[in-house]
Every structure is written in structure tokens, then in C-alpha cells.
Amino acid sequence: MATFHYSFQKVVDLKTSQKTQAEWLLSDALSALSVQEMSLRELVLAKEEWEEKLQQSAQQVMPLSEVRIIGEYLEHLQTCIDKKRLDVLQAERVVEHSRSRLADKVKDEKVWLKAKDHAWDRFRHALQLKEQNELDEMATVRFMMPTP
């Protein structure tokens, strides 16, 4: 019996490999985005804590220089937060690009897998025809044989 051999199997394997690589890249981009978002949350929490300290310092007797230092630190934290938001936006763009690339790779792989399935169906059909022809030939030979 003949065995099925797909002539473009290496292309199918390549497309599967490219899809897997795109999945890894998306995973890396998502983890980088998560790190950036966590860092942003930490900065926002730190700013809220320092704003609370500034509020408390207004209610207590505190040297003006310390209040000014807290205010400058709050400005620094706001600058860091603004930069981190830009980093988060950049990470989100990378994630979207990775998702788009993965979608393209998935489509590409599906096209090649579908072509392989069609080739398998054609092979199976040809094999069935061949077997049917052999059975028909056997039946014809038996019919033509004289009976004793």
C-alpha cells in the first residue's frame, strides 16, 4: 500500500515554527507590558503616599524646607509617572504589533494545513479508485473464467 508524502511538508513545518515564534514574541510583549504597568502602579501609589504626607505636613508644624522637598519629590514622581505612561503606551503598541503578526502567521499556517488536507483527500481518493479498479478487475476475471 502506498504511503502519503506531502511534497510541501517542510513549508508546513516552517509555517508552524513561525507561528510558534510569533506566540513567544507575543508572550514576551505581554510580560513586558505587565512589568511596565506594575511599575506605573507602584509610582502612582508612591505619589499618593507622598501627597498624603504633604497633607499631613500642612496640618502639623513642619519646616518649610521639608514641605518644599516633598513638593519637589512629588514633581519628580509626576515626571516619572508621565515617562512610565509613555513606556506603557509603547509596550501596548508592541503587543498590538505582536498580536497582528501572530494573526498573520496563524492564517498562513491554516492555508498550508488546508492545502495539505486537500492533498491528503486527493491521495485517499486516488487510492480508493485504485483499490476499486483492482476489485473490479478481480471480479471481471472471475466472471470470465469458465465454470467446471
Which CATH architecture does the domain made up of 9-109 adopt? Orthogonal Bundle (1.10)
Asked if residues 19 and 101 have their Cβ atoms less than 8 Å apart, the reply is no
Q: Would you state the pLDDT for residue 120?
A: 96
What is this structure's pTM? 0.76
Q: Would you state the pLDDT for residue 53?
A: 87
Q: Which cell numbers hold the place of 108?
A: 498562513
The domains of the chain are located at 9-109
Q: Would you mind telling me the total number of residues written for the chain in this entry?
A: 148
Residues of the chain with pLDDT below 50 are: none
Q: Which cell numbers hold the place of 28?
A: 514576551
Q: Would you state the pLDDT for residue 46?
A: 96
The CA-to-CA distance between both ends of the chain, in Å, stands at: 34
Distance (Å, whole) CA 124 – CA 126: 5
Q: What is the pLDDT of residues 128-141, one digit of tens each?
A: 999 999 888 888 87
Distance (Å, whole) CA 46 – CA 36: 15
